[in-house]
Amino acid sequence: MRKWLTVRCKLPQQRRFRLAIVDGFAGGGRYQCGAAGSPIIFIEELKSASEEVNAHRVVQGLEPVEIECLLVFNDANRDVINLLQRNVTPLLAGTSQNNPTLHLRVEYLHEIFEDAYPKIKNLLAKGRFRNVLFNLDQCGSSHVRQETICNIMHSYRHAEVFYTFMIDSLLAFLRKDQPEKLRKQLDHLGVCAVGIRESENSLSPRPWPVD
């Protein structure tokens, strides 16, 4: 994401860059081991990117770029969102004090992502965001519909989607001998059973041959 921001903020006459980041399955911000989760990583990357962009502009004798970002953090579990808020609040306070050209606003939601998506879209529309990044790191393979992905890509001038699903578990439980159940398992991905059969070799769990 840092490289993406540095590329988008290269114009000499540019004074402001606005974007929205949506983390649809945000989690609590940190894992039990203390490692940062995606919401904290996004904030840290935004800080690094803004510093890098404006340090480079100072060397060139250019005015700094003000980066404005709306962060939408959603998780289906209210307790998880409360934990995330506790983890993120001190980080936001430090960013406000130490990064005067970076302006962050956070919206917290606690709903199933597909239920939250209309509200998220409304927030982005109200803010007139053209640059959006969706992080859809779901647990499993059925929490984001293909129609939603298509809607995201067609709704914004510049849209990026980090889309993750558990391909191993999906392949393990595909009911290839039960066509109707197989169809239901694949509908949300926009994949047909014929396509699975035609691609059977590439989906095989067999290890690659070793020379």
Angle at 30 between CA 68 and CA 6, to 5 degrees: 30
User: The CATH number of the domain where 146 resides is what?
Assistant: 3.40.50
Same domain, 66 and 141: yes
CB 5 within 8 A of CB 53: yes
Low-confidence ranges of the chain (pLDDT < 50): 169, 199, 203, 208, 211
Which tens digits make up the pLDDT trace of 114-132? 999 999 999 999 999 999 9
Which tens digits make up the pLDDT trace of 174-208? 555 655 665 665 565 565 555 555 545 554 555 54
Same domain, 171 and 161: no
| Structural domains counted in the chain | 2
Same domain, 29 and 97: yes
pLDDT for the residue 143: 74
Same domain, 156 and 55: yes
Same domain, 129 and 187: no
Same domain, 206 and 140: no
Helices (H) and strands (E) in the chain, counts: 8, 5
pTM of the model: 0.78
Same domain, 110 and 208: no
Tokens of 40: 């904290």
Same domain, 116 and 207: no
Same domain, 119 and 211: no
List, in sequence order, every beta strand (DSSP E) within 93-157: 102-109, 131-137
Same domain, 13 and 82: yes
pLDDT for the residue 8: 86
Same domain, 53 and 6: yes
Q: Which domain holds residue 172?
A: 167-211
Neighbours of 49 (CB within 10 A): 21
Same domain, 35 and 118: yes
